[in-house]
Amino acid sequence: MPVRKDASGRRSVQAEVEVPGNPEEVWEAIATGPGISSWFVPSEVEEREGGTTVSHFGPGSSMDSIAKITAWDPPRRFTAESPEDMGPGAPAVATEWIVEAQSGGTCVVRVVHSWFASTDDWDKQFEGHEHGWVAFFRLLRLYLAHFRGRPCVPFQVMGAGAAPVATTWDALVGPLGLASAAAGQRVSTAAGAPPLAGVVERVGSSEHPELLLRLEEPAPGIAHLFALPMAGRVFLPIRVYLYGDEAKPAAARAEPSWQAWMAERFPAQ
């Protein structure tokens, strides 16, 4: 969807998804720290107008996104504003979350990013935000459908290689034994790889490689593997969300194993 512009200089992009659950259940998933951490990135939320939200996109404070809550109306709507969230010189961004109840026990979740600018300098980056939400919303829908309200322990590992995307992606999924995975198929990782088993929920296109798995091993959960071309490199994030009483010990075993496996195949350069 292109950037929307009005005469005042306000610009916006938005994305939405229909998810299972009533407004209170969906609000818990999108407006609390434990809820957001269960399908997005580790986050904290001060649940009030004037409170602060912090989203941790990587190690170190430089990877944190910090915003101030300017509107708080549970379980329907909240807005948070962040200055220069896109980098030095970027306009301040207001992010609005809206929950709309639908018939049949579902809700529509809508996220709207808006900013004021007199030029098109930032439009492409904000359009990228919209596409990013589409991917994360698949995780939100899967979480609410299968793991709603269960305690979560997330972790992420990362590898990187050289372009082209297809070559680096094959270097990941080939040794994992997942190169021929198909939607609906039950899969497990190959011998020598960290144990991961479950059902394939989604396979991305060759232009945007991606695997979304609903896990049974190492614990009930979700795994999201994808390729991200950036700055002449191809990054390979693997996000794992484990749920329930088994989650904490399973994550404590699995994360070091994945870190070692990725470091061996994609050494830092």
Cα separation of 263 and 260, whole Å?
Answer: 5
Residue 260 has a pLDDT of: 97
Question: Are the C-beta atoms of residues 15 and 111 closer than 8 Å to each other?
Answer: yes
Amino acid at position 19, single letter: V
9 backbone φψ class: left, alpha, beta (φ>0; ψ -120 to 50): left
Nearest to 15 by CA among 156, 166, 137, 116: 137
State pLDDT tens for residues 169-181: 999 999 999 999 9
Q: Which residues of the chain have pLDDT under 50?
A: none
Residue 11 has a pLDDT of: 81
Question: Per DSSP, what are the bridge partners of residue 223?
Answer: 213, 240
Residue 231 has a pLDDT of: 86
Residue 120 has a pLDDT of: 64
Amino acid at position 63, single letter: M
Residue 147 has a pLDDT of: 98
Question: Per DSSP, what are the bridge partners of residue 102?
Answer: 106
Residue 225 has a pLDDT of: 97
Tokens standing for residue 206: 């060759």
Cα separation of 75 and 265, whole Å?
Answer: 45
Residue 85 has a pLDDT of: 57
Cα separation of 240 and 204, whole Å?
Answer: 17
Residue 3 has a pLDDT of: 78
Cis peptide before 256 (omega within 30 of 0): no
Backbone angles phi, psi at 48, to 5 degrees: -170, 160
